[in-house]
Structure 1
Amino acid sequence: MSIVSGVLEPFKRLYEILPVTSKRGLTLVVILSLVASLFETASVASILPFMAIVMDPSILTEYRWAEELLASLGLHTQQAAIIAAGVLTVLVLGIGNVVTAANLWLQTRYLASARRDLATELFTGYLYLPYSFHIQRDTSSLGRVLGGDVESAIGGFLASLLSVISKGLSGIVLITLIVVVDPLVALGTVLVLGCGYMLVYRLIRIKQVTLGAKMVQASTTVGRTALEGLSGIKELRVLGRENASTVEYNKSMTELMATQASNSLASAMPRYVIEVFAYAGIVAVTLAFVLKGEGTAAIPSLALYALAGNRLVPIFQQLFAAAITIKYHTRAVESLEADLAIVRNRQTDTDENQIGALAFKTQIQLTGLSFKYPSADRLALNNITLTIPQNQSIGLVGKTGSGKTTLADVLLGLYSPASGEIKIDGVPLNSQNERAWRKRVGYVPQTVFLTNASIEKNIALGMAEEQIDIEAVKRAARMAQAEEFINQLPDGYGTIVGERGVKLSGGQRQRLGIARALYHNPDVLVFDEATSALDGMTEDAVMQAVQDLSQERTMILIAHRLRTVQACDRIVMLDSGVIVADGTYEELVSTSEPFQRLAGNGLREVQ
């Protein structure tokens, strides 16, 4: 790979993953880097005329324009001219440093905004990706991408690329300056510094790629271990297994820190080798001038070389460190590229992309519907044909793995069927109207997700605080029979429920889940084994709330216990993704052998 392609290839990769807003800002950053490099060179170059004037003030008389300029400024003595030259040199250096500081400030701001924009784009994209994506990916890996990989790509990869651009431009202009003064010295400088760093870089670049891969893996493990340990604290405490989780976390952190330490060491160590060659070069140049008998006449040039060398050594060091860092963070960029390709190629599922409201006045109709999970060998739903009239309650029963939850997920528009279709009042459900359909559906899962926020915010989940309709919150709580216990809490609807609702009982959490489902006043309510984890008395209280709602809404209840669905208008039994029975409880008990076997379990839990 050529040097040019070696520089451009990572820049091209990074440019492609940047959000559009960050791409626009990158141009300004590059332009300011060029300006800063020119000012840095000017500050170095200004030392040459200053030292020449100091060594021989009469040199000014050799240039008519210099004499005229000094006269116009009222500088009529050599001492005044030397002072003016010194002030000008300091002024140029000061302006150069101000521009360099401004460039650093802009780069820092730009990197922060790029990190924010990229993480936000990914997070938003994840939220809108198909539900099947989230089933196949664990949250710890997504968290690593949003946190660690974005930080590596922007704070590591992009920051290093900007360093390559900024310091590379400065190095090129400084070397050009030395070439103008003395081509042989410039050639020697490039050979000593460039070849030295190139040799070391080639020796360790492969190791950096390996370290980067280990860093990504270790970051994932650290995040997963921490999440699992803190989420399962109750079970770990009861089992007395805290130490096992600690050992695994410590092992992952040790590997992560080891890779980061190795990367830092690889970036810093070459400096101490190259500095020896750099300063040996300065000594050699000085000796060369002395041996040539140039003596004090060479002092201005030596001052220039010394100052330029003092700037070039850290420039080469930073370029080398940037190249090593780019290699180290390559795997994180690859991870981002993969997820961004998925996110950016997704079919947009937003309110703006919907064709409008989807009416539900008569029935939901499923015809020949089949579905298979991406990684499965067999159909989870096989040729399902079912009609659900408006305001009818339907119970879905069957053993574990029969397809009950999958059918509910398809009805919710979370999965698209492999074949067949769903029609709402004769209108096919598709990607253009599924969000409109979900606005008409309320969903209560077996385990209600609660955030560490107030009851009000949990009922109106996902709504900005200023957009929450408190009257709708109270109405939903009242319909879910949650109002009584909420009013007994110290802060009422402002009570913080704790992480995952740990400050509430199981029945209270479920009733908040029902209230959340009712907040937007849906036409259809889906209960996915929403009472299976409750005791009998609590389940009766929750189911009473459900039955009170069934008169004016279409209800779909996935049953863990048969008594939960006994009062439903119809019961649909599934087995291996196929409907094997459909009718009222009394009809199925009388005519359906599969249901009779289920009912014959003495209303025990369905396993």
Structure 2
Amino acid sequence: MKKITLLGKVRAIFDRKQKWQLVGLGIMIFIGGLLETLGVSAMIPVVQALLAPDELMGYIDRIPVVKNLCDALSITTVKQVTMALLYGMMAIYVIKNLYILLLTYMQNTFITKNRNRMISRVMAEFLNRPYEKYLGADIPTVFRITDSDIPQTFSLILAMLQLASEAVVTCLIFMVLLLNDPGMTLFIIAVFGLLTLFIVKVFKPRLNRIGARNQAIQSRIAKWRIQATYGLKDVKVLNREEFYVRNYYETGKVGAEVARNYAVLNNMPRLLIETVFIVSVLGFLVVYINGGGDITAMVTTISAFAIAAVRVLPSVNRINTYITEIAYTQPSLDFVYDNLQEGMKTDAMLAERKAYSQVEKLKLDHQIELDHISFHYPDSDKNIFEDAHMIVPKGKSVGIIGTSGAGKSTIVDILLGLLHAQTGMITCDGVDIFKNYESWLAQIGYIPQSIYLIDESIRDNIAFGIDADKIDEKRIWEVLEEAQLKEFVEELPEGLDTTIGDRGVRLSGGQRQRIGIARALYNDPEILVFDEATSALDNDTEAAVMEAVNSFHGRKTMIIIAHRLNTIEKCDMIYKVENMKLVKTTL
């Protein structure tokens, strides 16, 4: 496979509009370079006017364009020329710096807006991936791509833009210096060129490795933080605080060492360049004087080079700093590029699904059928189901039982369309659910064993993922009543505005399950799927929750996965998961 270059990856992650914006920035950078060069080169005649005024007038007489301009403006004396140059310098620097400010604004507008756009794009791609892709997902790394890798990628792109800007300025200033003193300029160009080559060959690979190590460390740091936070109750009950604090600290210490090594390596080029530049220039003068050269004859040249050095030396320093920064952040660009390539497959899958979806919405009038399905997980060849078949008539409640690990929850995920069977279909009144998958999901209310609750109000937890101005308050109270939770909420001081804590820590287990039922009912679905929704509850709480569940008997089509037989004793039909089949049975 052909290796994609750094520039190729940058081009690949941007769309056509963004690429044109980059072209526009490139043109602006070149204009900025011209203005920077004009600012430096304009200093040379000012120095000449102050140090050698007589030579300046002779210089003006030799250039017809300049002489005609002076005549037109009635500038005839050295004082008038000097004042004109000084006023001109003021104007040039005001215009130049206003333009550079505008360029900085445009560059950072491009970076910040497109960084946010890409984070949103990656988030959307991640959420739209097939469910199978999540099964082995490294969650800390998922967090890292949005929190670290994409910001690092745009730091790289900003460094590339600034590198281009400094390179333009440096090249143009060297062209001006070549006209002034070719020998000394070529010598300095050779010194800077060799230094840059040395930095690219020696520092860049090391910084690439440090950048990749930083990525791994950031994932590890996130892992310890997530595990300790999400498992806080277990951490405290088992008295494992010291374990997590120690591991977090030790991993962070390695991260600090990586950050230190980067800082040191990133500063070494600047110190190296300054040292070599000063030693080289002074060494050049030593050789020149020892060779019998007249130092007084070089006063103007040395002054010009000193002025240029004030601008060129920082530019060369920054160029090499940007090179090392690009090397350090390139692993992040590689990771973002690989993820966006994967995202293109997801986009293609969604486009294909949309193209082949039927216009008519799916509607359950007769039955749902799992039509002779066979399934195994993507990372395994062992079948969980082979030619399994099940029918769920409309308005009936169907219980599914089986031993732990038999595949009860897997069959729910297949029914929901989250997992894709290798053979067979899931149909609604004979129509494949993937013909209009969004329509299929709109008919389903799903209540899992562990309800995902957010640290927001009861209202926001029931109307999960709906904008505040679009929440139907009347419907909220209706589903609370159906879930037998209305009286409890009415007695709360803040009612629906009561916040329930992270993952509902301020609620009991039964109350959390009822919130889950209310959420599932909010869109008035035809089908309710209970995936061991009461298995974590005690007997009395389960009985109370099942009273709410059984109240939907005959009004909703229900599929109830259960571990305990008493949970499904009132179901119209029961299937048992055994030997990779769904076998119709009775209690």
| Helix, strand or coil at the partner of 1:552 | coil
CA-CA distance at 1:19 after TM superposition: 4.9
Which runs of structure 2 are paired with 1:35-46 in the superposition (5 Å)? Answer: 35-46=31-42
1:494 matched to 2:491? The reply is no
How far apart are 1:180 and its partner, in Å?
2.7
**What secondary structure, in the 3-state scheme, does the structure 1 residue paired with 2:453 have?**
coil
Q: Cα RMSD (Å) of the superposition?
A: 2.3
Q: Deviations over 1:431-460 (max 9, x none)?
A: x41121001101001000011111111111
1:355 to 348, 353, 358: 358
Q: CA deviation at 1:71?
A: 4.7
Paired with 1:69 and 1:99, the residues of 2 have a C-alpha distance of: 26
Instruction: Tell me which residue corresponds to 2:241.
Output: 242
Q: Which is further off, 468-477 or 400-409? A: 468-477
Deviation of 1:94 after TM superposition, in Å, equals 2.8
Q: Which residue of 2 aligns with 1:27?
A: 23
Q: Do the aligned residues in 2 keep the contact of 1:193 with 1:313 (CA within 8 Å)?
A: no
Amino acid aligned to 2:27: I
Instruction: Answer yes or no: is the 8 Å Cα contact 1:448–1:509 preserved in 2.
Output: yes
Residue 593 of structure 1 aligns with which residue? none
Cα distance between partner residues in 1 of 2:450 and 2:476: 20
Q: Is 1:372 aligned to residue 376 of structure 2? A: yes
Give the counterpart letter for 1:341 in structure 2.
Answer: Q
Q: Residue 600 of structure 1 corresponds to which residue in structure 2?
A: none
Q: Distance in 2 between matches of 1:13 and 1:294?
A: 54
Contact 2:485-2:511 at 8 Å conserved across structures: yes
Query: Does the CA contact (< 8 Å) of 2:459 and 2:476 recur in 1?
Result: yes
Alignment of structure 1 residues 34-433 onto 2, 5 Å? 34-54=30-50, 55-57=52-54, 58-59=57-58, 60-63=60-63, 65-155=65-155, 157-284=156-283, 298-346=298-346, 347-349=348-350, 354-356=357-359, 357-430=361-434, 432-433=435-436
The CA deviation at 1:292 is 6.7
| Aligned counterpart, 2:484 | 481
CA distance in 1: counterparts of 2:379 and 2:159, whole angstroms: 40
Is 1:394–1:568's contact at 8 Å kept on the other side of the alignment? yes
1:292, 1:568 → 2: CA distance?
Answer: 108
State the one-letter code of the partner of 2:253: T
Q: Name the aligned partner's letter for residue 480 of structure 1.
A: A
Note the C-alpha offset of 1:68: 4.5
Q: Whole-Å Cα distance in 2 between the matches of residues 52 and 87 of structure 1?
A: 16
Q: What SS does the aligned partner of 1:361 have?
A: coil
Q: What percent identity do the matched residue pairs reach? A: 27
Change (3 A) 1:470 1:423: same
Structure 1 position 101, deviation (Å)? 2.3
> C-alpha distance in 2, partners of 1:211/1:365?
55
Please state if 1:522 is matched with 2:525: yes
State the partner residue of 1:582. 584
Residue of structure 1 in register with 2:509 after alignment: 506
Give the Cα–Cα distance (whole angstroms) in 2 for the partners of residues 66 and 215 of structure 1.
Answer: 57
Change (3 A) 1:241 1:510: same
Q: 1:274, 1:138 → 2: CA distance?
A: 42
Change (3 A) 1:317 1:78: closer
Structure 1: which 5+ residue stretches go unaligned?
Answer: 1-5, 590-607
Distance across 1 between alignment mates of 2:64 and 2:198:
50
Post-superposition Cα deviations, 1:269-292, rounded to whole Å, max 9, x if no partner, equal 122222122123443555677777
Structure 2, gaps ≥5 residues long:
none
Deviations 1:269-316 (A, max 9, x none): 122222122123443555677777666554443232112222222222
Which residue identity is paired with 2:307?
Answer: L
Q: Which residue of 2 aligns with 1:592?
A: none
Preserved contact between residue 22 and residue 113 of structure 1 (Cα < 8 Å): no
TM-score, structure 1 normalization: 0.90
CA distance in 2, matches of 1:280, 1:89: 31
Does the CA-based 8 Å contact 1:47-1:303 persist in structure 2? no
- Counterpart CA distance in 1 for 2:578 and 2:525 is 29
* Residue correspondence of structure 1 range 1-12 to structure 2 within 5 A: 9-12=5-8
- Pairwise CA distance, 1:39: 0.8
Cα deviation, residue 352, structure 1? 6.7
From 433, 437, 441, the counterpart of 2:444: 441
Task: Tell me how far 1:325 sits from its aligned partner.
Answer: 1.9
The one-letter amino acid of 2:168's match is: L
| Residues 1:87 and 1:300: Cα distance change in structure 2 (over 3 Å) | farther
Letter in 2 for 1:379: N
Task: Provide the C-alpha distance between the structure 2 equivalents of 1:249 and 1:107, rounded to a whole number of angstroms.
Answer: 37
**What code does the residue aligned with 2:29 have?**
S
Shift of 1:86: 1.1
Distance 1:94 1:189, change over 3 A: farther
* CA separation of 1:292 and 1:85: change in aligned 2, threshold 3 A: farther
Q: CA deviation at 1:427?
A: 0.9
Secondary structure of the structure 1 residue equivalent to 2:551 = helix
Moved more, 334-343 or 22-31: 22-31
DSSP 3-state at the match of 1:377: coil
Q: For 1:368, give the aligned amino acid.
A: H
Partner SS, residue 383 of structure 1:
strand
Whole-angstrom distance in 2 between the partners of 1:465 and 1:153: 34
Aligned-partner SS, 1:433: helix
Give the match's secondary structure for 1:329. Answer: helix
Shift of 1:368: 1.2
Q: What is the Cα deviation at residue 107 of structure 1?
A: 1.6
SS of the residue 1:267 aligns to: helix
